[in-house]
Amino acid sequence: MQTVRIIGKCQVHEPGVIAVRQQDCERGRATVAEDLSPTLRRRELGARLRDLRLTLDLTLEDVAASLLCSPAKISRIETGARNVSQRDVRDLCRLYGVADTGQLDLLTQLAREGRRRAWWQDYDELTSTYSTYIGLEQAAVTVSEFNLGVIPGLLQTERYTRGLIDGMDPQLLDEEVDQRVEVRLLRQRRLSSSDPPVLRAVLDESALWRVVGDADVMAEQLLALRESARSTTSDIRVLPFSAGAYPALNGQFIILEFKNQIIADTVYVESLSGNSFFKRSADLERYHKIFAEVQEIALSPDESLNLLDLVRQHHIQHQKK
């Protein structure tokens, strides 16, 4: 049974990996309806409309000319990058010859649900890429993450997250740090939902040793990580230093998989030059292959826990000094 404590604006369920703003609880705004993620609804609508277009062998330019709009607009509709009006859906269905009432109702419903406001849209400082990622993550049935130097975001404690954000961007104002911490912790509510995703995480051993905050923060973080590893929906493994060089040593990535087969799996890659999404079959195959390889090279879940305990004891000893 998880207990609850208050940290600043957040209500946190021990061991510190799940939080929600108190005012969001009162407003009912922070409830995460995974299956109704507007981001995923827009992607499903776009995929279905694209299939209809391709069935008729129409190009983006053909459709744009018929609807008196730009090809870019049709492309953004099909990729789920923009909201779609009821009128756009009706016009496209008319052009594609959709006569089935059930199909038309489904597409209209997807457009309506795609325009709903999600909790992450209350944070104006989020980039559009990060906002899209959160929308996809909230609906994924499997999250496979490889992380090189830090604990995965879904598994971070409040204090670790704060120390990480402070260290990575020391120019941020306190309120900006608070908002980023809140968003990361709100994302974690999905793990304790009635239908949590399968979380598969592989992290480099350096993430356990790197002191974010201080030794006390690290001891708390590794205890929380251990607790998370006990979940039946989690598979957490560590790549030890002894593994030497391995695939993906030059970068981290996350693979999101979805229940609805019409929506393609998505790879999310973070870098200093910007964050990117990959959905092409060749890219998905490559990243799935790399993840399988690093998971195979990594320690087993039990061996990973043993190493985690060893490193945690090291942090506890330094905590006492």
Residue 249: per-residue pLDDT: 86
Chain-centroid distance, C-alpha 42: 16
Task: Report the distance separating Cα 116 and Cα 119, nearest Å.
Answer: 10
Strand order in the sheet with 10-13: 4-7, 10-13, 18-21
Task: Report the distance separating Cα 121 and Cα 134, nearest Å.
Answer: 10
Pick the CATH number of 38-114 from 2.60.120.1440, 1.10.260.40, 1.10.240.10, 3.30.465.10: 1.10.260.40
**pLDDT above 90 for 292:** yes
Task: Report the distance separating Cα 124 and Cα 180, nearest Å.
Answer: 11
Distances from the Cα of 229 to the Cα of 9, 87, 160, 321, angstroms: 27, 48, 17, 29
Residue 32 binned pLDDT confidence (cut-offs 50, 70, 90): very low
Task: Report the distance separating Cα 300 and Cα 271, nearest Å.
Answer: 28
Kind and range of the H or E element at 174? helix 174-187
Kind and range of the H or E element at 237? strand 234-239
Residue of 173, 139, 134 whose CA lies nearest to 153: 134
Task: Report the distance separating Cα 238 and Cα 303, nearest Å.
Answer: 8
Residue 276: per-residue pLDDT: 92
* Sequence spans of domains, the chain: 38-114, 119-320
Residue 321: per-residue pLDDT: 62
**pLDDT above 80 for 186:** yes
- What is the percentage of the chain residues whose pLDDT exceeds 90? 77
Q: What is the largest CA-CA distance in the chain?
A: 74
Residue 146: how many other CB atoms lie within 10 Å: 26
Question: What tens digit of pLDDT does each residue of 222-271 get?
Answer: 999 999 999 999 999 999 999 999 988 888 999 999 998 889 999 999 88
- Structurally, what CATH architecture does the domain formed by 119-320 represent? 2-Layer Sandwich (3.30)
- What is the percentage of the chain residues whose pLDDT exceeds 70? 88
**pLDDT above 70 for 272:** yes
Residue 13: per-residue pLDDT: 39
**pLDDT above 70 for 297:** yes
Mean pLDDT confidence for 66-94: 94
Q: In 63-170, at which residue ranges do the beta strands (DSSP E only) sit?
A: 142-147
**pLDDT above 90 for 16:** no
Mean pLDDT confidence for 209-213: 96
What the block records as the tokens of 213 is: 């905050």
**pLDDT above 50 for 24:** no
Cβ atoms of 136 and 37 within 8 Å: the answer is yes
Task: Report the distance separating Cα 293 and Cα 248, nearest Å.
Answer: 9
β partners of residue 5? 12
Task: Report the distance separating Cα 17 and Cα 196, nearest Å.
Answer: 14
What the block records as the tokens of 117 is: 């406001």
